[in-house]
Amino acid sequence: MKYKSYAILLVILILIILSGRNPTEPTTTNSSLAPDKTAPNFTLQSNQGPVSLTDFQGKGVILFFGYTNCPDVCPTGLSTLTQALKQLPKATQQQLQPIFITLDPTVDTPSRLSEYLQYFHPNFIGLSSNQHTLQQVTQDYHVIYKRQPQSNSEFDFIQHTAYFYLISPTGNLSQYLPHQSSITSLKKALSMLVKTKQKELI
Amino acid sequence: MKTLISSALLLSSLFIATPSLACDDHKLEVSGSYVREMPPASKNTAAYMQLKNTTDKPLKLLEVQSDIAKKIELHNIVNVDGVLKMQPQPYIEIAANDTLTLKPGGYHVMIMGVKKQLKQGEDVKMTLKFEGGMTKDLTAPVKSIVPKSAKAGHSGT
């Protein structure tokens, strides 16, 4: 009998935890991730050592979460982002820092990420970490992801939310765009992102 | 008696299926097929194409075969509360007199465990298998999704 009530308590607890998560969009009632608020900082590993978000103060940051074995969603998003970047004037490109954070750290080592991302754009930085740190970062950015096991584990997929998080040169989350955004709308958003720097300086 | 009838039915259906075993181009047209070039370090890619069903009956694509990969499946990307899930499909149906486009972010041919990194300029041979025994051979070019010639300030889309 005692165990039964414990079980009920546990179920209620789980339900409470689950109900607190809102997977629909990366912004929720949690004020830590809202437009115009400081984007949560992180320190993760690149192939050239640790990298923090605060290292890029003064630049517009485009943050994207994914994994290199992603067969459709990530390559599509990265391709759009690459094309948007390449179509911007060189000066604007230099004020932008695209960052890719892996959701599959056991496979995606920093060097593997670097090799993968070079294919898209030489300016990309790829970041990996241990599961624990990654869990914190994905939680901060409201990224929902889950391994989708296949019959042969070699072919596991990861379900994930796919947004471009645009972070202003002063470190505020400016906006987030879905990965299927058009090159044109992404280009426009990136130009605006860099302009916020000038506006804030005046 | 029952089994006799069902086996007779089964046999006759085999005979009916036989004439259409070789692909009938008048039934299905494939256009714009390509396989996405693979970034280094990735093992998976996808094939995309347009499938035009010119008959007045729906056609079911059951399987795609090719010797370039360990495993090929039919998939769809489904957005569930903002989370993108890849859903394996037992078949992809092309409605009567309709065209279905397999494209990034939607239905696609999932190519997993590719034996050799595919580069632009190469061709991939594959066979589409449909319900009823119809097959369609096709050669899809490998295409880059990142235009390599794009330079700063270049406005081509």
pLDDT, tens digit, 9 for 90 and up, residues B69-81: 999 999 998 888 8
| Max Cα distance, chain B (Å) | 77
Question: A58-62, A144-148, A187-191, B106-110: which has the minimum mean pLDDT?
Answer: A144-148
Measured between CB atoms, does B83 come within 8 Å of chain A? yes
d(CA B134, CA B61): 9
Contacts of B47 in chain A (CB under 8 A): none
Mean pLDDT of A137-151: 88
Contacts of A88 in chain B (CB under 8 A): 152-153
- HSE-up (13 A, CA, CB side) for residue B1: 0
d(CA B85, CA B102): 16
| pLDDT tens digits, one per residue of A84-93 | 999 999 999 9
Q: Which of residues 134-193 of A touch B (CB under 8 A)?
A: 144-146, 148, 152, 154-155, 157, 159-162, 180, 183-184
Residue A11: pLDDT band by 50, 70, 90 thresholds? low
Predicted ipTM of the assembly: 0.72
Please state the pTM of the whole predicted model: 0.78
| pLDDT tens digits, one per residue of B37-65 | 999 988 899 999 999 999 999 999 999 99
Alpha helices by DSSP H, listed for B69-135, are: none
* Residue with more model confidence, B12 or A182: A182
Query: Given the structure tokens 């879905």, which residue do they identify?
Result: A178
Instruction: Report helix, strand or coil for B145.
Output: coil
Using the predicted structure, report yes or no on whether residue A201 has a pLDDT greater than 60. Answer: no
Q: Is B131 exposed, middle or buried (CB count within 10 Å of its CB: 0-12, 13-18, 19+)?
A: middle
Q: CA angle at residue B112 from B135 to B130, to 5 degrees?
A: 15
d(CA B82, CA B79): 6
Below-70 pLDDT ranges, chain B: 1-25, 148-157
The sign of the dihedral angle between the CA atoms of A108, A35, A76, A160 is positive
Q: Is B6 exposed, middle or buried (CB count within 10 Å of its CB: 0-12, 13-18, 19+)?
A: exposed
Using the predicted structure, report yes or no on whether residue A66 has a pLDDT greater than 70. Answer: yes
Tokens of A197: 């720097």
Mean pLDDT of A115-126: 94
Measured between CB atoms, does B148 come within 8 Å of chain A? no
At residue A202, the pLDDT reads 46
Tokens of A33: 């991730």
